[in-house]
Structure 1
Amino acid sequence: MPKIKVAILGATGAVGQRFVQLLENHPWFEVSALTGSDRTVGQKYGAGVRWVLSGPVPEYAREMIVLPTEPGFDAQIAFSALPTDIAKEAEPKLAAAGYGVCSNASSHRMWPDVPLLIPEVNPDHTALIAHQRQARGWPGFIVTNPNCTSTGVTIALRALHNAFTLTRGFMVSMQATSGAGYPGVASLDILDNVVPYIGGEEEKFETEPRKMLGKLAADQIEFAPFVLAAHTNRVPVTDGHLVCASLEFAQKPSPEEAARVLADFRAPEIVQNLPSAPKQVIEVRSEPDRPQPRRDRDAGKGMATVVGRLRPDPLFHLRLVILSHNTIRGAAGGALLNGELLVAQGMVK
């Protein structure tokens, strides 16, 4: 089939660059537009971008002219790496102009009629798009992916909640510096240090999994009834968010039972053959000191969730450690997989 034209919004930022990288030679999508800030609009992408990823700027993007983030570019899907304050106004305008917006921003995640989507977890939530279009009069739509820390945790929780019914959880995150974008956290703040506060992060971490693991009911989502509490910390690691979780369930699992459920978890059939989907959604490590960001963040080309250190918890039922790549699975790669799902479901043609 002919490739679907896609745009990357905010293409010069750290997450935008990851989109540019991941979309090189994509089997379904052709990048037809790159948008950027006033500083870069009108320039060739290769000249205007301050490239921060490993490897060179992909050849296909070098000569593309950076456009303003306004309706008018030729694309069906707009992958958004816009900052939240800009996305808040720009993304609805683009949806109203007919674009399918797959957003990485937090601006619209908790809108009742906007899917907060992880294809392996809640692909049925895309049914909200019809309600969104009807209520807002948009020919296009907005779909969002979750916070980078919520992503890997929610994938693991999906498997465990299905099997044992989660009732409450306590989580502590150790989040990589790339999650703050570029230039991100000042070196004097993060070197030889841990920063025990990330603005707005704990609230997202405690709320987003409840929406994603909730049930589709008419024109909105009934949040899952479990309760989560979180501490979030910025640590001197480049990529990979690590979460230590303690969980309680309606049916108490042994660590062995939980490990088996996690390892056996499979994505819904419609997701399994998507180009960006990992073959193994959750990788379970048996070593006592894994997962580790440097060693495990690239599992499944950065799209897999890695779990380890499953053991009994004297206060709850189960302790475990969860790792995911924050700028691939938790950002650009997650939004890209959402776009692929929408094509597979016939939402984009």
Structure 2
Amino acid sequence: IFVFFSLFFWCTFVEGSRALSLGPARWVGGMWFVEGPRDDALMPVEGEEGQRARNRKRMWLVKGPSDERPMPISASPTSQSAGKGRKRTGPASAAESCRAPRSAKRGCSAADRAEQAVKRALGMSEEEMLPELRAVDMAAPVRLALIGATGLVGRACAGYLAAHPELGFTVPFYVGSALSTGKALSEVAGQKEAKLQEHYGEGFWQSSDEAIDPEASVTDVDALLAAGPQAVDVVLSFLAPRFGHLEDQMIKAGFRLVSISPHARMQHPLIIPFVNGRSVDFGSLRCIKSPNCCSVGSTVALRPLVEMFDVQEIFITTFQTLSGRGDALYPADKVVANVYPIGATEERTEEYIAQEVARVYKDHPRASCISKDSIHVSAYRVYVQKNHLLDIKVRVAETLPLASAKSMLAAVYSQVQYSSDVAVSREVGEPRPRSHAHPNRVVVGNFDVEPAAGGKGSLVRVSVTVDNVAKGAFGNALDIAQEIVHALGGQSSSSSVTVPSGRADPPLPGDPTETAVGAAPQDTTSVGGQAAPGTTAPVGIPNDD
């Protein structure tokens, strides 16, 4: 007993005091003790506890022998004060903690929660009522309204729908800005494409070969609001965020809305049918958001890895093309024959991608370690017209065989359940933006595996190309629209190989039998349909890639 208490006294007080005085970290009694000022990088904590920890000027951080990241210590059931030298009573490590399944919210149905979320996003009280969603006449073609139809994404979508009437969609409303109202959409498109060619160079910028319906005429948003939700079945919004108030008007008026706009994106369901659409009740939702196009490409490419391995951390480097900026023009001296870092600019792409990838995987049963804090993004703009390149590195808990890594990863991605949305390239130096041949799929390749830092787990690399319009923008919006039709009992042209994917049949552009829209300018951004309050006409504002 004397020896026991002597050792306890020595470890707790003597060694503990020495540890605290010797610097930022010290191994004592089977735990690391770390003292630090308000350093968010050392506090991987979510929710209220994390906020309280960040608000403290000084705090104790502790980690066990198997932890890779320190954890805040507070007077809670899962941890005790480090100053008293007590052992942790919670999970043995941060990794084990993040693997705990997220508990589902109880007390109301998913439809009720979705309705409450819409009201909160619109600033409505719970007592206020929204119009009941109208049924869709499945005996007739599904009617779409394109908001922001004169922007790059809107023009590409209009051209694609005109080239593929077999999809079962018709477009009675092409909504554009006050400057375009009353003009033929093809005329407006020609003028905007000519401006892009003049700015970036005719030899560089290539216009689309898919013709827009010559009868398509641009109207304003007031005409659509006056016609009401009985005039269209689904509204596809390609608005820039500054015109997001128009989306709010649409929802309050009773329209079904599918939007790629960053406006209120995190306040509505964020859906990629191939990734997180399996359990979504598409028919009951008033507004569904589609993520940033890099987020679409990243989440699709990550799905096989998430379902095969224990993903711990994700590093994404994006090489985004100029078409991602939309009709808004970069100063030529910054981007022509150059690479432009965009992390510190007004384009909040890095922030969007981390938040959105985490949000899409929030309820995936094997993605409990994926959060915005475990996703690290670096973004660059490159002098290429279309098809973003993503370099993705994923730290997994498993120790993977290095000798057969490339063939193993190719086999993982080649499984039939992924084939509708993922194509595998085994060629050296692929995938590349200019040779991207499947605009309706992400193309993956350039596989590699190396030991993770510290010798725990492996670091998996996969390079990805994604068409930032046909897949990343209007393509995902159309997938969602098709899922809405399915949910309401219709037989849209979607007949995908896998359950969660809303891929059309015949295939979207880029398959060998189709005329590719790949020659179209890749426009993941678009301009709003109507001038914002207090203005006369919208200026070309980028969406968010």
> TM-score normalized by structure 1?
0.84
Give the residue type in structure 2 aligned to 1:69: V
- Residue 411 of structure 2 corresponds to residue 257 of structure 1: no
Q: Which residue in the other structure is 1:34 paired with?
A: 174
Which of 217, 222, 232 lines up with 1:75 in the alignment? 232
Give the residue type in structure 2 aligned to 1:4: V
Give the residue type in structure 2 aligned to 1:41: T
SS in 1 for 2:270: coil
How big is the shift at 1:160?
A: 0.9
SS in 1 for 2:409: helix
Q: Which residue in the other structure is 2:288 paired with?
A: 143
Q: Which residue in the other structure is 1:127 paired with?
A: 281
- Residue 472 of structure 2 corresponds to residue 330 of structure 1: yes
Q: Which residue in the other structure is 2:481 paired with?
A: 339
- Per the alignment, do residues 164 and 56 of structure 1 end up closer, same or farther by CA in structure 2, a change over 3 Å counting? closer
Deviations 1:189-208 (A, max 9, x none): 21121101152000111111
Which consecutive aligned stretches of 4+ in structure 1 deviate over 6 angstroms post-superposition?
A: none
Give the residue type in structure 1 aligned to 2:216: M
Contact 1:115 1:126 in 2 (8 A): no
- Per the alignment, do residues 342 and 251 of structure 1 end up closer, same or farther by CA in structure 2, a change over 3 Å counting? farther
SS in 2 for 1:121: helix
Deviations 1:80-122 (A, max 9, x none): 1111110x211121122121111111112211xx221111111
- Residue 227 of structure 2 corresponds to residue 90 of structure 1: no
How big is the shift at 1:48?
A: 3.4
Give the residue type in structure 2 aligned to 1:203: E
Contact 1:215 1:224 in 2 (8 A): no
Q: Which residue in the other structure is 2:387 paired with?
A: 240
CA distance in 1, matches of 2:459, 2:384: 29
Contact 1:80 1:102 in 2 (8 A): yes
- Residue 138 of structure 2 corresponds to residue 21 of structure 1: no
Contact 1:12 1:36 in 2 (8 A): yes
- Per the alignment, do residues 193 and 182 of structure 1 end up closer, same or farther by CA in structure 2, a change over 3 Å counting? same
Give the residue type in structure 2 aligned to 1:107: H
Give the residue type in structure 2 aligned to 1:172: T
CA distance in 2, matches of 1:58, 1:213: 36
Which of 150, 161, 164 lines up with 1:12 in the alignment? 150
Deviations 1:176-215 (A, max 9, x none): 0000001432322211211011520001111111111121
Deviations 1:283-330 (A, max 9, x none): 11111200010101x31xx11111111111344521111110011101
How big is the shift at 1:147?
A: 0.5
Give the residue type in structure 2 aligned to 1:98: G
CA distance in 1, matches of 2:361, 2:309: 13
Q: Which residue in the other structure is 2:29 paired with?
A: none
How big is the shift at 1:46?
A: 2.9
Give the residue type in structure 2 aligned to 1:100: R
- Per the alignment, do residues 119 and 162 of structure 1 end up closer, same or farther by CA in structure 2, a change over 3 Å counting? same
- Residue 212 of structure 2 corresponds to residue 65 of structure 1: no
Contact 2:390 2:464 in 1 (8 A): yes
SS in 1 for 2:245: helix
Identity of aligned residues (%): 24
Contact 1:115 1:129 in 2 (8 A): no
Contact 2:174 2:218 in 1 (8 A): yes
Q: Which residue in the other structure is 1:99 paired with?
A: 255
CA distance in 1, matches of 2:488, 2:303: 25
- Per the alignment, do residues 318 and 101 of structure 1 end up closer, same or farther by CA in structure 2, a change over 3 Å counting? same
How big is the shift at 1:224?
A: 4.0
CA distance in 2, matches of 1:176, 1:119: 25
- Residue 359 of structure 2 corresponds to residue 211 of structure 1: yes
How big is the shift at 1:128?
A: 7.8
How big is the shift at 1:265?
A: 5.2
Give the residue type in structure 1 aligned to 2:448: R
CA distance in 1, matches of 2:237, 2:304: 28
CA distance in 2, matches of 1:168, 1:336: 31
How big is the shift at 1:14?
A: 0.6
How big is the shift at 1:175?
A: 0.5
CA distance in 1, matches of 2:291, 2:253: 24
- Per the alignment, do residues 322 and 56 of structure 1 end up closer, same or farther by CA in structure 2, a change over 3 Å counting? closer
- For residues 171-320 of structure 1, the aligned pairs below 5 Å read 171-198=316-343, 199-215=347-363, 224-225=370-371, 227-253=374-400, 254-264=405-415, 266=417, 280-296=420-436, 298-299=437-438, 302-315=439-452, 316-320=458-462
RMSD: 2.4
Deviations 1:110-160 (A, max 9, x none): 11xx22111111114633874xx6xxxxxxx11111101111110011111
More strand by share: 1
- Per the alignment, do residues 15 and 160 of structure 1 end up closer, same or farther by CA in structure 2, a change over 3 Å counting? same
Contact 1:36 1:66 in 2 (8 A): yes
Tell me, which stretches of 5 or more residues in structure 1 are unaligned?
134-140, 268-278
CA distance in 2, matches of 1:142, 1:251: 39
Contact 1:171 1:243 in 2 (8 A): yes
Contact 1:7 1:31 in 2 (8 A): yes
Give the residue type in structure 1 aligned to 2:393: S
How big is the shift at 1:57?
A: 3.5
Contact 1:211 1:223 in 2 (8 A): no
Count of aligned positions: 318
